[in-house]
């Protein structure tokens, strides 16, 4: 994540706050998701095996049609990320931080065949850096498979949370 600093983030946030007219009509995240059949991601998803005791992720609109907040609870760690669109390039990006001090910055590629790829660079809480690719596949409207691409891939089956049985 070389070249990325807090001052860059502050400048970006100020630019977004004070120059909203620079954004084009093409940067509507909701439309990008709809066109690629990924608008169904909104909601709470839990791992199939523990029904959310191990992994629980909620995708919700933070700024209508523009920014999605992603909150994940996993193994005593909580993370928060924002998904948005770069108004100049129309690239869908994600930036996040976690309770252990780690942070990440990445970009999404949504495909109409139910596949999405999140490529990200991260800095762990201890300062070590790395890169990761996460592939998501919408199996149907209530289930998806997440694959963390490693030499030995990790596959996680997620299901849409049943509100009445959802663990907190």
Determine, yes or no, domain membership for 1: no
With a cut of 60, say whether residue 168 has pLDDT above it. no
Determine, yes or no, domain membership for 167: no
Determine, yes or no, domain membership for 12: yes
Average per-residue pLDDT in the chain? 85
For residues 142-163, average pLDDT: 93
For residues 89-115, average pLDDT: 94
What pLDDT digit, counting tens, does each position of 14-50 carry? 334 333 433 444 569 999 999 999 999 999 999 999 9
Secondary structure of residue 94 in the 3-state scheme: strand
Helix (H) / strand (E) element for 143: namely strand 143-149
Contacts of 39 (CB under 8 A, 6+ apart): 30, 33
Determine, yes or no, domain membership for 118: yes
Determine, yes or no, domain membership for 23: yes
The total number of structural domains that make up the chain: 1
Determine, yes or no, domain membership for 53: yes
* pLDDT at residue 27, rounded to an integer: 60
Q: Which domain holds residue 152?
A: 6-160
With a cut of 90, say whether residue 1 has pLDDT above it. no
In this structure, what are the phi and psi dihedrals at residue 2, rounded to the nearest 5 degrees? Answer: -65, 145
The CA–CA distances, whole Å, from 113 to 66, 116, 156, 165 equal 23, 9, 19, 30
* pLDDT at residue 81, rounded to an integer: 98
Cα–Cα distance measured from residue 52 to residue 159, given in angstroms and rounded to the nearest whole number? 9
* pLDDT at residue 26, rounded to an integer: 55
What pLDDT digit, counting tens, does each position of 107-116 carry? 999 988 889 9
Contacts of 114 (CB under 8 A, 6+ apart): 37, 137, 138, 139
pTM above 0.85, yes or no: no
Determine, yes or no, domain membership for 156: yes
* pLDDT at residue 111, rounded to an integer: 87
Determine, yes or no, domain membership for 165: no
CATH of the domain at 76: 2.40.128
With a cut of 70, say whether residue 9 has pLDDT above it. no
Count of H-run helices and E-run strands, the chain: 2, 10
Token pair of 132, please?
A: 């990761």
């Amino acid at each position: 994540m070389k070249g990325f600093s807090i001052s860059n983030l502050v400048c970006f946030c100020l630019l977004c706050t004070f120059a909203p007219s620079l954004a084009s009509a093409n940067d509507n995240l909701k439309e990008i998701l709809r066109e690629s059949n990924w608008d169904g991601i909104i909601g709470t998803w839990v791992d199939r095996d523990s029904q959310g005791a191990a992994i629980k992720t909620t995708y919700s609109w933070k700024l209508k049609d523009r920014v999605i907040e992603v909150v994940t609870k996993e193994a005593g760690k909580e993370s928060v990320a924002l998904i948005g669109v770069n108004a100049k390039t129309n690239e869908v990006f994600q930036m996040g931080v976690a309770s252990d001090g780690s942070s990440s910055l990445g970009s999404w590629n949504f495909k109409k065949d139910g596949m999405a790829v999140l490529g990200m660079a991260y800095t762990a809480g201890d300062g070590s850096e790395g890169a990761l690719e996460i592939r998501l596949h919408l199996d149907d409207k209530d289930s998806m498979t997440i694959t963390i691409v490693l030499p030995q891939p990790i596959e996680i089956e997620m299901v849409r949370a049943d509100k009445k049985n959802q663990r907190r």
